[in-house]
Amino acid sequence: MDIGGTLVKLVYFEPKDITAEEEQEEVENLRSIRRYLTSHTAYGAAGIRDVHLELCDLSMCGRTGSLHFIRFPTHDLPAFLQMGRDKHFSSLHTTLCATGGGAYKFEEDFRLMADLQLHKLDELECLIHGVLYIDSVVPSECYYYENPADPEHCEQRPFPLENPYPLLLVNIGSGVSILAVYSKDNYKRVTGTSLGGGTFLGLCCLLTGCNMFEEALEMASRGDGTRVDKLVRDIYGGDYERFGLPGWAVASSFGNMMCKEKRESISKEDLARATLVTITNNIGSITRMCAVNENIQRVVFVGNFLRVNTLSMKLLAYALDYWSKGQLKALFLRHEGYFGAVGALLELLNPS
Amino acid sequence: MAGHSSGTNRGSHSMDKSITLPPDEIFRNLENAKRFAIDIGIRIPLIYTWFRLRHVVTISMLQEADGDPLYEISVQEEITARLHFIKFENAYIETCLDFIKDHLVNTETKVIKATGGGAYKFKDLIEKKLKLKVDKEDEMSCLIKGCNFVLRNIPHEAFVYAKHADSEFRFQTTHPDIFPYLLVNIGSGVSIVKVESEDQFERIGGSSIGGGTFWGLGALLTKTKVKFDELLQLASKGQHTSVDMLVKDIYGGAYGSLGLTGDLIASSFGKSATADKEFSKEDMAKSLLHMISNDIGQLACLYARLHNLNRVYFGGFFIRGHPVTMHTITYSINFFTKGEVQALFLRHEGYLGAIGAFLKGAEEDNPNQYSWGENYAGSSGLMSVSPDLNPMQRARSGTFDMLEMDRLERQLVNLPLLQDPSSYIPDTMDLTEDALAREYWLYCFEEALDGVVKRAIASQPDMPEAAERAEKFRQKYRHKLQTLRNQPFAYGSLTVRSLLDTREHCLNEFNFPDPYSKIKQKENDVALRYYLKVVKSLEELSWEQRQFALVRGLLAGNVFDWGAKAISDVLESDPEFGFEEAKRQLQGNTETFYTQTIRGGPPHTCALFFVDNSGIDIILGVFPFVRELLGRGTQVVLASNSGPALNDVTNGELQILTERIAAMDPVIHSAFKEDRLTLVQSGSSSPCLDLSRLDKVLATVVRERQTDLVIIEGMGRAIHTNYYAMLSCESLKLAVIKNSWLAERLGGKIFSVVFKYEVPPKH
């Protein structure tokens, strides 16, 4: 599992090739956990199993089975631990591999509340290993957007990530980490920014009163950010040619909101859209600078901020293409936020 | 100053009541304005004008006749140029335009140069009110032009901000080559511009997250109709940790393997999504401020690294002297570059656009061909930093701010003999950082004020209103001293030099261009009568005795200094205090120079001598010494002030004195005639000396003559400034300490001799 600032990501491998004897030997506790996880798609108020991401007929460690992807809010972790305790998870004598900051923060809680010892793993290493593994076993994992400048013809296209290095890996969770990856074990964290998915949701909650990521995204999809932002054309009447700035570019995010009348004339949807555009463009801009400084042309975006967030993905694809004059390509992965957890699972199966 | 507003009748009928400065002080010399430029920003438009008139003292030689003075002194009007900058809230634009219209009588100009986002908005208003055509200039190129101008002409323009240090502002000595640099302009959005030369610059990047985001988003979050400053105020009182998700909120502590500390922000506003609670306005504003400052700092660093630049200046309304934003930007730059790049700010950042627009309009006058100097008397200086410290001054800065710059008659350059021009700091003591010394000198200048006023009145016996002007001078200078007591950083680093220069500027402002002219005249006259006698008695000495006597004479001459309070008291009360008496008072020994150079080494090719006082100092101290140097085959260049300061000898006076001495003394006569003795101007009108701002002609002469010895004389030039200056040739710094506090601080007694002979390290 990967315990982040906002979400806990859990991957669970369910062997499907269980023989009758094995079934016989399987202890009751394990069976009940397996059944609980695989027979539901929602757990408690906010736990979700992303069924569409499930990988079937996967070979792992000589077994064939399905890989399940489950997530729940980090603030529900106590409930999760309670469940682990009720289902006597600790009796299984299984090591629980955990990564993400929560592996450190909640280590004590795991021990005290559920009698579980955590095997803590570095989150960046898990992330990279997870990305490389999933990409190697899932044929159409990686994709890009064709014609990002043209909304009518902008479409997803698979991108074979055969020879991935060097790679800029941008993980957008609550915050953002940007890694330059040169090989499986050779990578560095280039920089990060605190303006990430947590900022988008946090600001949306304050500005619109919503409280769910999906709700915020839905509002954003219906809003018009250009009423909130001050565009180049709002200042110069058109393009600012002296500096090659197109009229449609945002000159000042939320710039129109300096004016009281305009504050009163916009909708919550407009605000959600502007927030999304602001955060996304900023990530694009920092990413582009890092790519240029590190001399890397291929950029892979991951993290749960991009979940069901086509708006941001297309925006990133467009921004990278436009401002780099076609030099940079934005790539995305279907299992957006689960790579850290997958990497932790791999560590469990193949301890180095 | 607020008290003056009711007393002014000029224009007060048309001025807004809340304008607290007397308009005749703000819009001084408007009648003679030649050109205008305006920069209309979101909140503060700027106007400035150009004016030409000032009083100067001129001296002219008289035919020699017994009983007549040496030369004649007269006061004349001279044409000169000054830039007036006035900055006010754009709420006052209409009243200000009305005022300008009423007083604009002599102008020939038909256009006003305008820049800034509001130039369109106010175009019609300006054209209607002033009957001037608005000529719009590109915002960014004006900004860059203005930035180059202040960096080149104002020595302590740039500073580093350190919130918790003894002095919050650390001023930087401007590198002689100001290019290349990065300018990060934070207006509503952010523009990042790389400037490579006067005319070459490029916008290499930018961001939409800027001041407008802080303001707009801040207004939405706090749900109040707030001004930008009020939002900053809110932010300065807030705690961002309740809103932001920190590394420790995720990790429970630091993320050690990456070196991320627990207090680092992992996700801005990350907590406002998960907690069902209300957040205070202050906390949200603080979080927003951090988010935006960090983001801008990060981008600036990425661009600085990509273009390999380490001088990064920040400006725009987001910065504009706000300590809160200067602090967060500085913090961010430190974090992202691990201290390799320092965030630099500019004292006159708010004027850059207007300066640039003006320069574009004044191209026919070639303003960039001249050097300019900040006039301390007419400039309001950097405002108080802490918003709580001095609300009155804060309020004042909200209405009017002024800057005046004088066009200097000479183009100023570095002394070619500076060992490392980029690290040269003229001033010996930084009073901004040394609170004890600051206290002393401020007290000292205040104590001396009565005497200066008396002297000023006495210098103009035929002018009945002199007393009234002198009183205005007293008020002005006393006010300056008070300002400096509260805000030592107002005009850059506070130094004895800046205190002296401010006094000279204030005196000039009230038409006391040279209060010591008559004293200098009398003393020159008296000293000249003794010249031959002194020379003769020196010639009677053995070679070795003569060398020591010459140095003693030089130092004794330097005792006669009206600038030192201890001396002016003596000279005032005991007119008979003489050269011999001065020699007896000297403390210390002076052998080094003679044993090391004059006796041992070959004669120097050329000596550059920065002289000090008129009268006994120059005539009975310096000239016999110069005579000896000439006798050794060394050429001598005498550098004196271009304009008057205290009783320092000016270039004009020195011309006459040299001719008088040449007429008596064949050695001087032939040297002067053959150009082995040359007089040059320093380009300065200060009792101190800044070797990085000297007349270009002086620099040329120094280079051509292969100058290999520099002599700097006097407290102002060799102690208060240049005491630690490193030159690439031999140098001699000499002075008599005529101030017991300073003597004590340097470990000696009053009338101790400083005689510092230095040889540069051999390479």
Residue with more model confidence, B535 or B752: B535
pLDDT at B9: 36
Q: Which residue among A4, A174, A242 sits closest to B138, beta carbon to beta carbon?
A: A242
Chain B contacts of A100, Cβ < 8 Å? Answer: 250
Going by their DSSP bridges, the two strands B311-315 and B342-346 should be labelled as: parallel
Q: Confidence band (pLDDT; 50, 70, 90) for B388?
A: very low
Q: Confidence band (pLDDT; 50, 70, 90) for B197?
A: very high
Angle value at C-alpha B322, between B317 and B328, nearest 5 degrees: 100
Chain A contacts of B136, Cβ < 8 Å? Answer: none
Whether residue B434 is predicted with pLDDT greater than 80 in this model: the reply is yes
Whether residue B681 is predicted with pLDDT greater than 80 in this model: the reply is yes
pLDDT at B13: 36
Whether residue B228 is predicted with pLDDT greater than 60 in this model: the reply is yes
- C-alpha B143/C-alpha B192 separation (Å) is 12
Contact yes or no for A170/A183 (Cβ under 8 A): no
Residue with more model confidence, B384 or B679: B679
Residues 6+ apart with CB under 8 A from B123: B114, B134, B136
Comparing C-alpha atoms, which of B448, B438, B455 is closest to residue B566? B448
pLDDT at B596: 52
Q: What is the mean pLDDT of residues B173-200?
A: 91
Q: What is the mean pLDDT of residues B347-373?
A: 84
Best of B136, B232, B250, B263 to mutate (most A CBs within 10 Å, chain A): B250
Closest residue on chain B to A124 (Cα): B258
Whether residue B640 is predicted with pLDDT greater than 90 in this model: the reply is yes
pLDDT at B385: 47
Sign of CA dihedral B430, B434, B438, B440: negative
Q: How far is B518 from chain A (nearest CA, A)?
A: 59
Q: Which residue among B219, B243, B298 sits closest to A193, beta carbon to beta carbon?
A: B298
Tell if the CB–CB gap between B208 and A5 is shorter than 8 Å.
no
- C-alpha B652/C-alpha B641 separation (Å) is 9
Residue with more model confidence, B365 or B477: B477
pLDDT at B125: 85
Tell if the CB–CB gap between A175 and B270 is shorter than 8 Å.
yes
- C-alpha B751/C-alpha B740 separation (Å) is 8
Note the pLDDT tens digit of each residue in B21-36: 445 555 666 666 777 7
Whether residue B105 is predicted with pLDDT greater than 70 in this model: the reply is no
- C-alpha B212/C-alpha B215 separation (Å) is 5
Q: Which residue among A198, A207, A255 sits closest to B220, beta carbon to beta carbon?
A: A207
Annotated catalytic residue within A14, A25, A54, A123: A123
Whether residue B393 is predicted with pLDDT greater than 80 in this model: the reply is no
Contact yes or no for A317/A146 (Cβ under 8 A): no
Mean pLDDT is lowest, of A315-329, B316-330, B549-563, B653-667, for B549-563
Q: Residue B661: left (phi > 0), alpha (psi -120 to 50), or beta?
A: alpha
- Whole-complex ipTM: 0.95
Going by their DSSP bridges, the two strands B201-207 and B190-195 should be labelled as: antiparallel
Q: How far is A256 from chain B (nearest CA, A)?
A: 7
Report residue B576 as tokens: 């008979």
Tell if the CB–CB gap between B215 and A203 is shorter than 8 Å.
no
pLDDT at B24: 53
Q: Which residue has the tokens 């700010």?
A: B345
Tell if the CB–CB gap between A189 and B258 is shorter than 8 Å.
yes
Chain B contacts of A282, Cβ < 8 Å? Answer: 207-209, 295
Tell if the CB–CB gap between A174 and B267 is shorter than 8 Å.
yes
Note the pLDDT tens digit of each residue in B592-629: 555 555 555 788 999 999 999 999 999 999 999 999 99
Q: How far is A123 from chain B (nearest CA, A)?
A: 10
Q: Does A260 touch chain B (CB under 8 A)?
A: yes
Whether residue B377 is predicted with pLDDT greater than 90 in this model: the reply is no
User: Which residues, numbered 281 to 320 in chain A, qualify as contacts with chain B under a Cβ-Cβ cut-off of 8 Å?
Assistant: 281-282, 285-286, 289-290, 292-293
Report residue B416 as tokens: 């070619």
Report residue B270 as tokens: 């990350």
Note the pLDDT tens digit of each residue in B38-82: 777 644 556 555 555 566 666 676 665 556 677 888 877 777 788
Q: Strands, E, within B79-219: which ranges? A: 82-88, 111-115, 133-136, 158-161, 169-171, 181-186, 190-195, 201-207
Q: Residue B139: left (phi > 0), alpha (psi -120 to 50), or beta?
A: alpha
Contact yes or no for B512/B387 (Cβ under 8 A): no
Tell if the CB–CB gap between A101 and B243 is shorter than 8 Å.
no
Closest residue on chain B to A275 (Cα): B217
pLDDT at A225: 96
Tell if the CB–CB gap between B188 and A258 is shorter than 8 Å.
yes
Tell if the CB–CB gap between B295 and A195 is shorter than 8 Å.
yes
Contact yes or no for B213/B296 (Cβ under 8 A): no
Q: Which residue among A175, A206, A286 sits closest to B221, beta carbon to beta carbon?
A: A206
pLDDT at B329: 96
Q: Does A171 touch chain B (CB under 8 A)?
A: no
Q: What is the mean pLDDT of residues B168-177?
A: 83
Contact yes or no for A280/A197 (Cβ under 8 A): no
Q: Which residue among B215, B216, B299 sits closest to A289, beta carbon to beta carbon?
A: B299
Whether residue B37 is predicted with pLDDT greater than 80 in this model: the reply is no
- C-alpha B71/C-alpha B60 separation (Å) is 6
Q: What is the mean pLDDT of residues B232-257?
A: 93
String of DSSP letters for B405-434: EEEPSS-EE--TTBS-GGG---BS--TTT-
Query: 0.95 cut: is pTM over it?
Result: no
Percent of chain B with pLDDT over 90: 50
Tell if the CB–CB gap between A201 and B203 is shorter than 8 Å.
no
Q: Does A191 touch chain B (CB under 8 A)?
A: yes
Chain A contacts of B253, Cβ < 8 Å? Answer: 104-105
Under 8 Å CB pairs connecting chains A and B tally to 194
Best of A253, A271, A293, A294 to mutate (most B CBs within 10 Å, chain B): A253
Distances (CA, A) of B335 to B159, B183, B257: 19, 19, 17
Closest residue on chain A to B264 (Cα): A194
Active site residue A54: no
pLDDT at B585: 72
pLDDT at B27: 63
Tell if the CB–CB gap between B291 and A194 is shorter than 8 Å.
yes
pLDDT at B102: 76
Arithmetic mean of pLDDT over chain B: 84
Mean pLDDT is lowest, of A210-214, B496-500, B560-564, B679-683, for B560-564
Q: How far is A260 from chain B (nearest CA, A)?
A: 7
Report residue A251 as tokens: 């000159």
Q: Helix axis angle, B666-673 relative to B623-631, nearest 10°?
A: 70
**Residue-level pLDDT, tens digit, chain A, 352 residues:** 999 999 999 999 998 888 888 888 777 888 888 888 888 899 888 899 999 999 999 998 888 999 999 999 999 999 999 988 888 888 876 778 999 999 999 999 999 988 888 999 999 999 999 999 999 999 889 999 999 888 889 999 999 988 889 999 999 999 999 999 999 899 999 999 999 999 999 999 999 999 899 999 999 999 999 999 999 998 878 888 888 889 999 999 999 999 999 999 999 999 999 999 999 999 999 999 999 999 999 999 999 999 999 999 999 999 999 999 999 999 999 999 999 999 999 988 876 5
Tell if the CB–CB gap between A206 and B269 is shorter than 8 Å.
yes
Residue with more model confidence, A194 or B554: A194
Tell if the CB–CB gap between B268 and A195 is shorter than 8 Å.
yes
Whether residue B456 is predicted with pLDDT greater than 50 in this model: the reply is yes
Residue with more model confidence, B453 or B354: B453
pLDDT at B399: 55
Tell if the CB–CB gap between A194 and B213 is shorter than 8 Å.
no
Q: Does A197 touch chain B (CB under 8 A)?
A: yes
Q: Confidence band (pLDDT; 50, 70, 90) for B397?
A: very low
Chain A contacts of B284, Cβ < 8 Å? Answer: 206
Whether residue B473 is predicted with pLDDT greater than 60 in this model: the reply is yes
Tell if the CB–CB gap between B225 and A260 is shorter than 8 Å.
yes
Q: Which helix (H) or strand (E) holds B335?
A: helix B323-337
pLDDT at B752: 82
pLDDT at B47: 57
- C-alpha B633/C-alpha B670 separation (Å) is 13
String of DSSP letters for A272-331: HHHHHHHHHHHHHHHHHHHHHHHT--EEEEESGGGTT-HHHHHHHHHHHHHHTTT--EEE
